[in-house]
Chain A
Amino acid sequence: MKRFFMYTDGRTGSTAICDELGKHASICCWQELLSYGFGISAQDASSSSLSALEEKYADSVLPYEVFKLHHVGDLRGKAVLRQYIEYLESKARQRGKDAIGFKVLYHHASHWEADGALEVLRDLNFLVLHNMRLDLARKFVSGAIARMRNIWNTQEAFEFNERVLIDVPMAHKVMDRSKKTYRQRDEFIKTFGFDVLLTVYEDFLEEREAFLNRVFGFLEVPEQEVDRSTWKVVTPGDLSEIIENYEEVRRLLDDKIPTEEVEFNFSAQQKTGSDV
């Protein structure tokens, strides 16, 4: 069984990428399984059957936190996580697939150090797809709109007829921080000894097939054409429809940050594949 996780920040297109990876004949790829703060009590978790609990979740697989609550017993920390990975693998095998993957957001992964989860994943030979979005301005705007609509990702139609005010001065600050975060997170994940493939959302948008083939190659699964994601792009193409201070935001979006300013020699690594 091949194993991987996508290590990424919010609003980087990772939901759609994970979804499309999961459509590969050999890959089971779920969304955020290792997130925290599920509102379920230990009592509820232990009193319900596994299948009843699984039905509650869109991916028909329990998130890690719920799995832990369901398995209230003598297992602790690392042992529970190992058992959870086995649980995921059994799910993949039921579907006739031989690779498992899921998405981990940076802020969810901040709990890992305490749990020792990262060591477990490394020992189980997990591969890492470190996904980024280089257009930080668009990333910020997308996040701000999603937050004010409370719609982060959806597969259904939705209505929203208000306009959002984007905080442009704050955008500059957040973008500066994001540049540093990319670099720090990349160093962090590599220091644990993972094999890391850097991916960029903009590549996914522009050359989808090449992007996916590159990932399939990294995961050592056969190249294959996969269906497009059913997740909707929640930010409309014409931002002036939804943004109140569009002129100001347009200047922010037009004022693209050169790639080298991301303080991360991304291009060189991508071309040579030296990060793999």
Chain B
Amino acid sequence: MTARSSKLAISIKSRVPLRFKRGVRQLLKGNFADCAKIFLPYRVKVFLHYRILPQYERFTGKVSWRPDDSVDSSLGRVSPALILREVRNAKLHKSDAAAQALLEEYASNVDCLENTKTATALLGAVEVLGADRINQNAELLRSLNLTDRSSNFRRARLLLMSPEHRDSALSVLNDLLDEIPDDRPVLQVLANQAKQSEDWKKAELLFGRLFWLAKSPAIGYQYCSVLLHRKKPIQADVVAKSIAPETLPRSNPLSKDMQELLAELVQSFPVTISEEKLQQHVENISALTVKVMSRLDSLGEKDCRHLLAALDLVRRIEGKFRVVRRFESFYAKQASDESAGTLNVECLNFQWEALIRVQRSIVERAVPLCLNSDDVTLHLSLPRLVDRALDVSKFTQDTSCITNVLQQCRGRFKHAEWLHHYELAYKANFSEALPEDGTSVHWRRLERWGDFTHAARLKAVNELPGQRKKGVYFYNDSRGKIAQADCVVSACSIQLAQGPVRIVAGELIEAADTTLLHPGEYHVKEYPRPNPLLLTTGNKFCAFSEITVQRSLDVPVIVLGNMDGVSVPNYYHWMALILSRICYLAEQNEFSERKLCIPREIRPWMSESLRLAGFTDERIVYVASNESVELTDAVVVSPIDTPSEEALECLRKRLFDGAGLQPKRTSTSKNLLIMRDDVLGRRMFEEGAFRELAKKRGFIEIAPGRLSVAEQLEVFSSARSIAGMSGAAFMNAVFSPSGAKVLAATKREAFGLEFAALSILRDQEYRWLLGDNMPLDAWHGIVNAHYHVDKKCLEDGLGWCCG
């Protein structure tokens, strides 16, 4: 025994089990048989931990890892706890691939079919690896010998993600539910499955059971959606009113203060607040925020899970406020609604910022607690905390939060893949200059149209100016009176620039100097969209694992600045922002010598609309989403965020011509009703009454989503009135004659100007039928939450629409 080894053996930390200490002593003495009895279950871990590798090598030479005659078979197995710990550590400190390799090694070395404890540990390890690795581990999962209910549930839940094993997993889950009909985790999985597979009756049954057991907001929301989908608005309303508010468990040390803060924020969410309440409200929130934050200091490691739960809750509530930020400019322009108080964007932003501040404090408190903890499961929540820190910094534009968090994590996880990912995300969002490429990281700068099309890169070849248009729309205020608001549709010019570009990953436009075109804000939260080659993206830069051009196209083409249509397959976006531009350019003869370059994966109805607009396959060049293509002669068309009057006129002309229809100049007598039966989100509780009232007034219900584009053109071309629940189908109003009346129901909390703008451009009358969002929904944001509309307003609105 060397002096160093001896020192090591003696200095073994007191928290190490006595068993280990004895094992190390036996090892250092060279008593390998005794040592094997102690250490075999723990294998390599202990040797690496104590850095006694020479002894380890001697040890491995003497002892077989596999159980054989010379070693007691019970010692031949690896400790289940070790499997789980090692896989977690590999994921945390290295990468998913390293963790997967380790899992496979263990799975091949141990007799997991026989030993239930080992099988459970392997199951846990597969869970740690996450959904991405399920297909790879499906066979291993199936072969595990699991006997208890909980493990079988966990296995079935994982196998559900593998298409091949889905049916057998469902059968296991159904059996488990038959045994205990109110088992909430099983119910949750099966209810979601029923919804996904559109088995609405089963979904109603299971979400209903789940909801009445707990009355949680998330389940309540789903249950409402399913009930509305099954045309049971009265029952949906009962459920909405029964939803219990968001709460933290009583045991959470933050419960009292946090609950007060959240209640204050949720209750005061309506966009208006009276002057006299405003000051008091702001003071209350400030005081509560300070109280919550000061309490964080007294929390210790044992409270870590509570902190994470509180963070999740605050984040859910904060989700609602993000929408306000997005609609901020719109709200600021609105006239104040005196009955409900003055609209105050600053107050809303103040509440939102309070939530951000609380999140930041929680993250900054939780990260050191997690890092100092010995609990690996707490370490596994670190990526989530870093993610929040990044979000907080992005929203506040203050990098100190993410910088501190990354610095703390670097000390412990410097080789970890997940940390590397967040380092890249940090650079993408906050770097001043284009970061340098690494061996497997290729950075690209993102630039908006104005910067992207400078002379050295592309040559401006044409500009088709648009015109501003002013108009008005109407809406019912909170007292039910009809108010009028001005709406200015901004001028929309379309610019063309020519030069060599590349299309990367089927969607991105890259200039010769590798700069990428960022198409704009509208409906594009994260750009570029996720694709297998994209590592991260930020406001200015994005990083790819590789970009290799696969083919070159010498054909002259026209390519759109935003090739949206695949990522956002929305009827309004396609028709108003994409196809209208194509039609406009076609009318300007821009396609006389060029083909249209478009993503291959567009929807069938998009292809149909292109055909109607005169673009047969011979006039189109398709690029697949996994392709990178060099275009030697391309004209790039500037992206647009708002509809253009001229472009819409061209769209109408070409589509009507293509469908062989004559657009009508004056309104006829057809009244159309559009509902949202095929969509789960943004439903109205008064749908039944609305439908009934509309039918009494002679409205004909149609489902545009089930009609071809040509059929939609035909139906809407002769509409005198269009009423219904706001959605992309209202794009069809542009095919209706001037003077038509449009009535769209939605919620007061979130209504944009897009559809009103379309009607103004078409000289139609537009009225919003505004209601209020369902109560206590903090999970799904205010845009897609269901809503109530006053029945009297429905009647008045329909009366106006067909009057």
Residues of chain A whose beta carbon lies under 8 Å from any beta carbon of chain B: 147-150, 160-165, 167, 169-170, 172-173, 244
Contact = CB atoms under 8 A, between A and B. Distances in A.
Contacts of A148: 235, 238
Contacts, number: 35
Given A148-B235, A149-B238, A165 B208 contact: yes
B205 interface: yes
18 contacts: A147-B212, A147-B238, A148-B235, A148-B238, A149-B234, A149-B238, A150-B238, A162-B232, A162-B234, A162-B235, A165-B205, A167-B205, A169-B178, A170-B181, A170-B182, A170-B209, A172-B181, A173-B181
Nearest to A171: B181
Nearest to B692: A161
B201 interface: yes
Interface of B: 177-178, 181-182, 201, 204-205, 208-209, 212, 231-235, 238, 241, 688
Nearest to B187: A170
B234 A167 contact: no
Given A147-B212, A170-B209, A164 B235 contact: yes
Contacts of B688: 161
Given A162-B233, A169-B181, 6 more contacts: A148-B235, A150-B241, A165-B208, A167-B205, A169-B177, A173-B181
Report, nearest first, the 10 A-B pairs whose CB atoms are least far apart.
A150-B238, A169-B181, A162-B232, A148-B235, A173-B181, A170-B181, A167-B209, A165-B204, A170-B209, A162-B234
A163 B209 CA distance: 17
Contacts of A172: 181
A173 B178 CA distance: 11
Contacts of A244: 201
Contacts of A164: 235
Contacts of A160: 234
A167 B201 CA distance: 11
A149 B233 CA distance: 11
Nearest to A168: B205
A276 to B, nearest CB: 37
A69 B605 CA distance: 64
Contacts of B208: 165, 167
B785 to A, nearest CB: 20
Nearest to A164: B235
Contacts of B241: 150
A165 to B, nearest CB: 5
A173 B182 CA distance: 8
Contacts of B234: 149, 160, 162
A118 B609 CA distance: 75
Contacts of B231: 162
Nearest to B241: A150
A156 to B, nearest CB: 16
A97 to B, nearest CB: 37
Nearest to A169: B181
Contacts of B238: 147-150
Contacts of A167: 205, 208-209
B782 to A, nearest CB: 25
A160 B232 CA distance: 10
A55 B499 CA distance: 82
Contacts of B232: 162-163
Counting chain A CB atoms within 10 Å of each CB, the highest count among B201, B232, B233 belongs to B232
A217 to B, nearest CB: 40
A149 B235 CA distance: 6
Nearest to A166: B205
A247 to B, nearest CB: 13
Nearest to B180: A173
A149 B242 CA distance: 12
Contacts of A161: 688
B696 to A, nearest CB: 15
A165 B201 contact: yes
Contacts of B235: 148-149, 162, 164
